[in-house]
Every structure is written in C-alpha cells, then in structure tokens.
C-alpha cells in the first residue's frame, strides 16, 4: 500500500489523480488532500477518500470544513496555511506527493517534498521554472524520485533511454521535441486576436484544464514554461529543445536520436494516462482512459510554431537564456497578465507586451534561495500591476 498526499486535489490534475487512485484501492491510500478555495469539492473528496489530513489556506474556511466533516462522521483533521502545506508534503507516512498546485504558490510545499525524499509526481511546473537549480539539488541530495506528469514531459521520460551516466548527447539523444496543440487560436486571423474573449481563450480544443493553464495554452506560454521545465528535468540545453505544433494532441512528445530514430509516446488526450504511468512506475496500471484508435484518428499533422502569432514562446526561450531572475520575472508577469486578461482588464494581445516589459526591467540577479525567488517574484508582480494600472504596458509585442 502506497500513501499519497495530493497538493491541489480540487484542480483538474488532482481530480484526475483521485480518479486513478479510486480504481486501485489495494494499491493506494490518500493520506492528505489540499485546496486553495474549493471548500465544497474538498468536502466531497474527504467524504469519499477519508484522508487523515485536509488543508485549506484560509483559517476560517478550514474551521468551517472541520465542522462539516465532524457532522458527517469523517475523522479528517483540517489544517490551514502554507506551513500546513509543507507539513503534509513531508509526512513520514507519505510515499508519494502529487504536486498539482497551480503557480508559484506550490513552490514551498513541493520543495518540502523534495527535501523529504518523496516520490514526487510533478505537475507544478513553477517549482522548476522559478527554482530549477534549488529544486533539482534538493531532489539529488535527498534521493527523492521525480516523475513528471505533464503529458509532454511524461512522454519524454518514457521515450528517453534508461537513466544512466553522461549527457543526453552521450546517450545518443539529438533533440527533444515538445508537442503543442496550438490552442484555440492557431488558425484565427491575426486581426481578430486583439478582440478575443476569456471565454474563447479557455475553450481548449482537446484538453479539459483550469482557466489559467488554458490561457497559457492559447498564448503558448505554457509551452514556453515547459521548455524551461524540460531544461531542468532532462539537463537539456535550450537549443536541444524544440517545439512542434501537433493539433490532434495524440503524439505527446518525441525524442530524436543521433542515428535518425525518433521515439514518441502516443495516447488519447487524457491526463489520467501520464498520472497512472507515474503512480505505478516502474509497473503499468490501468488509468481509465480510452485506448487509442489510430484508424479513427486518421491523420496526424505537424507544423512549426509561428513566433509572430505566439510571442510568449520566444519570450520564454529568451528568459531561459538570460538566467534565473529573468525566468522568475517571466513567470510572475505571466500570472499577473493572465489574471488581468481573465478579469477583462487587458486585451489578449497585451499579455506578451506586459511580460516583455516586466522581464526587460528586471535586473540580472542570482537565485540562491526560496527567499530570493519570492523577492524577485514580488517585485515583478508589483511592476506588472503598476504597468496595468497605468496602462503603461506598451504595444511593442503583439500576436500576429
């Protein structure tokens, strides 16, 4: 029996994880669930899985949940605050930590799991994007096992040669190819982009995801962050990582070898597949996802990304090459820009303009601690909010 802590259990990744876990009651037991604000859903999850702990950020909300659970006869202890997130990520009884909190809010808890030597199923890409060196050092020092559950990085993990010494080149790898769907605006006329609505941006053609990550998919910032993540996960230089648009979302990523071979992982677009792979690794377990029918899919197509349409992808590559503080600022500015767009305070095409302005104004600094990350993050967010409030975003970067 393996005991799980799920950080961010009420999001799409957390819900998919619980779906897989429920299919294997003899293998897995949920020890702790955490959420930011979806109290009703967390209550239902606690009733279904009866974890030892549940965590909410707000103390009053946690007290209300505790009362409801006691009235229902559920013995779950409800904790609150960021320190509680770190606590449940490092519980001695926890074997597996699913890191699915969206944004930099998940950094400290995920790092706590890494320092505690857990098997980490990583969906919180910001842990690597903003603190890659710190995070990977913690994994190596503690002997933690790190398994990516983003569909693309999980596909790369499955397609790489067995772990061993030496660089990717020493192991025969020439390129890592990250696939991207192209999102809902891949073929939209450039003149229409400035007027797209949040509802249009979150309507992903293939995946069911949260609002923030759906907008990131539309701008392809999500793919840019995945490039940065792949750099840390696989010790890959930026020039070794390429992005290719694959609208069908059936080929989840590929690895090209020096002999001309290309190995890919395919499957229906269902997050339960990479989650089940990581949960069961090195064994294979049922995920509940439909099996792939290639004859029904018919055609698989690929195209190079248009950086005029998707400037966020270029900004991510530039930040990775610029160094740690630029990457932290990129992530912070993007979180602010997406939130402002979803609240209809800036236009869709102003998202990359805001990010570009903030990153350009961020001095190059070393990132040696979580506090360094949080300091740069806070400064970048303040700059982003100030730019929005003063409408000083500028119009230098436009999609199309």
Give a yes or no: residue 361 inside a domain.
Answer: yes
Q: Do 337 and 206 share a structural domain?
A: yes
Give the range of the structural domain holding residue 72, as residue numbers without chain letter: 2-148
Q: Do 82 and 212 share a structural domain?
A: no
Q: Do 198 and 112 share a structural domain?
A: no
Q: Do 53 and 127 share a structural domain?
A: yes
Asked whether the predicted pLDDT for residue 394 surpasses 60, the reply is no
Asked whether the predicted pLDDT for residue 29 surpasses 80, the reply is yes
Give a yes or no: residue 29 inside a domain.
Answer: yes
pLDDT band at 122 (very low <50, low <70, confident <90, very high): very high
In this structure, of 85-89, 131-135, 150-154, 208-212, the range with the lowest mean pLDDT score is: 208-212
Q: Do 215 and 143 share a structural domain?
A: no
The string of pLDDT tens digits covering residues 152-174 is 999 999 999 987 778 999 999 99
**pLDDT attached to residue 127:** 87
pLDDT mean across residues, the chain: 93
Report percent pLDDT > 70 for the chain.
Answer: 97
Give a yes or no: residue 192 inside a domain.
Answer: yes
Answer with the one of 94, 122, 148 that is the final residue of a domain: 148
For position 112, which CATH number holds? Answer: 3.40.50.720
pLDDT band at 104 (very low <50, low <70, confident <90, very high): confident
Domain count along the chain: 2
Asked whether the predicted pLDDT for residue 400 surpasses 80, the reply is no
Over range 362-389, report the average pLDDT: 93
Asked whether the predicted pLDDT for residue 218 surpasses 60, the reply is yes
Give a yes or no: residue 230 inside a domain.
Answer: no
**pLDDT attached to residue 125:** 83
**pLDDT attached to residue 396:** 39
In this structure, of 42-46, 112-116, 161-165, 351-355, the range with the lowest mean pLDDT score is: 161-165
Q: Do 120 and 16 share a structural domain?
A: yes
Q: Do 20 and 135 share a structural domain?
A: yes
**pLDDT attached to residue 56:** 96
**pLDDT attached to residue 393:** 55
Over range 206-210, report the average pLDDT: 72
Q: Do 102 and 18 share a structural domain?
A: yes
**pLDDT attached to residue 205:** 76
Higher pLDDT, 103 or 312: 312
**pLDDT attached to residue 342:** 95
Give a yes or no: residue 103 inside a domain.
Answer: yes
Give a yes or no: residue 307 inside a domain.
Answer: no
The string of pLDDT tens digits covering residues 244-280 is 999 999 999 999 999 999 999 999 999 999 999 999 9
Q: Do 193 and 56 share a structural domain?
A: no
Answer with the one of 124, 148, 172 that is the final residue of a domain: 148
Higher pLDDT, 189 or 209: 189
For position 366, which CATH number holds? Answer: 1.10.1740.10
Q: Do 129 and 55 share a structural domain?
A: yes
The string of pLDDT tens digits covering residues 282-317 is 999 999 999 999 999 999 999 999 998 999 999 999
**pLDDT attached to residue 391:** 61
Q: The pTM is what?
A: 0.91
Give a yes or no: residue 266 inside a domain.
Answer: no
3-state secondary structure the chain: CEEEEEECCCCHHHHHHHHHHHCCCCCEEEEEEEECCCHHHHHHHHHHHCCCEEEECCHHHHHHHHHHHHHCCCCCEEEECHHHHHHHHCCCCCCEEEECCCCHHHHHHHHHHHHCCCEEEECCCHHHHHHHHHHHHHHHHHCCEEEECCHHHHHHHHHCCCCCCCCCCCCCEEEEEEEECCCCCCCCCHHHHHHCCHHHHCCCCCCCCCHHHHHHHHHCHHHHHHHHHHHHHCCCCHHHEEEEECCCCCEEEEEEECCCCEEEEECCCCCHHHHHHHHHCCCCCCCCCCCCCHHHHCCCCCECCCCCCCHHHHHHHHHHHHCHHHHHHHHHHHHHHHHHHHCCCCCCCHHHHHHHHHHHCCCCCCCCCHHHHHHHHHHHHHHHHHHHHCCCCCCCCCCC
Asked whether the predicted pLDDT for residue 399 surpasses 50, the reply is no
Give a yes or no: residue 381 inside a domain.
Answer: yes
**pLDDT attached to residue 392:** 52
Asked whether the predicted pLDDT for residue 138 surpasses 70, the reply is yes
Higher pLDDT, 310 or 395: 310
Over range 386-400, report the average pLDDT: 58
Q: Do 142 and 13 share a structural domain?
A: yes
Q: Do 90 and 8 share a structural domain?
A: yes
Asked whether the predicted pLDDT for residue 178 surpasses 80, the reply is yes
């Amino acid at each position: 029996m393996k005991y799980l802590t799920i950080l961010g259990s009420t999001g799409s990744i957390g819900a998919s994880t619980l779906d897989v876990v429920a299919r294997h009651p003899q293998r897995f037991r949920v020890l702790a669930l955490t959420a930011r604000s979806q109290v009703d859903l967390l209550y239902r999850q606690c009733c279904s899985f009866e974890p030892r702990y549940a965590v909410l950020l707000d103390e009053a909300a946690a007290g209300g949940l505790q009362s409801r659970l006691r009235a229902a006869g559920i013995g779950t202890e409800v904790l609150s605050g960021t320190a509680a997130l770190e606590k449940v990520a490092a519980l001695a009884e926890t074997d597996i930590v699913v890191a699915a909190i969206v944004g930099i809010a998940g950094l400290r808890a995920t790092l706590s799991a890494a320092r505690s030597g857990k098997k980490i199923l990583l969906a919180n890409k910001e842990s690597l994007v903003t603190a890659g060196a710190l995070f990977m050092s913690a994994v190596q020092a503690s002997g933690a096992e790190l398994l990516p559950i983003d569909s693309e990085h999980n596909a790369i993990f499955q397609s790489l040669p067995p772990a061993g010494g030496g660089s990717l080149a020493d192991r025969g790898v020439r390129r890592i190819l990250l696939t991207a769907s192209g999102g809902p605006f891949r073929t939209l006329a450039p003149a229409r982009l400035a007027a797209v609505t949040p509802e249009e941006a979150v309507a992903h053609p293939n995946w069911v995801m949260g609002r923030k990550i759906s907008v990131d998919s539309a701008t392809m910032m999500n793919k840019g962050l995945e490039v940065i993540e792949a750099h840390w996960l696989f010790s890959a230089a930026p020039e070794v990582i390429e992005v290719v648009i694959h609208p069908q979302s059936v080929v989840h990523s590929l690895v090209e070898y020096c002999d001309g071979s290309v190995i890919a992982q395919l499957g229906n677009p269902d997050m339960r597949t990479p989650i089940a792979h990581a949960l069961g690794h090195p064994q294979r377990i049922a995920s509940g996802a439909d099996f792939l029918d290639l004859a029904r899919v018919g055609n698989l197509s690929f195209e190079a990304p248009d950086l005029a349409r998707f400037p966020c992808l270029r900004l991510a590559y530039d930040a990775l090459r610029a160094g740690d503080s630029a990457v932290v600022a990129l992530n912070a500015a993007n979180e602010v820009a997406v939130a402002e767009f979803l609240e209809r305070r800036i236009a869709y095409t102003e998202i990359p303009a805001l990010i570009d302005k903030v990153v350009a104004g961020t001095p190059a600094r070393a990132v040696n601690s979580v506090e360094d990350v949080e300091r740069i993050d806070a400064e970048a967010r303040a700059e982003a909010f100030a730019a929005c409030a003063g409408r000083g975003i500028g119009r230098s970067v436009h999609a199309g």
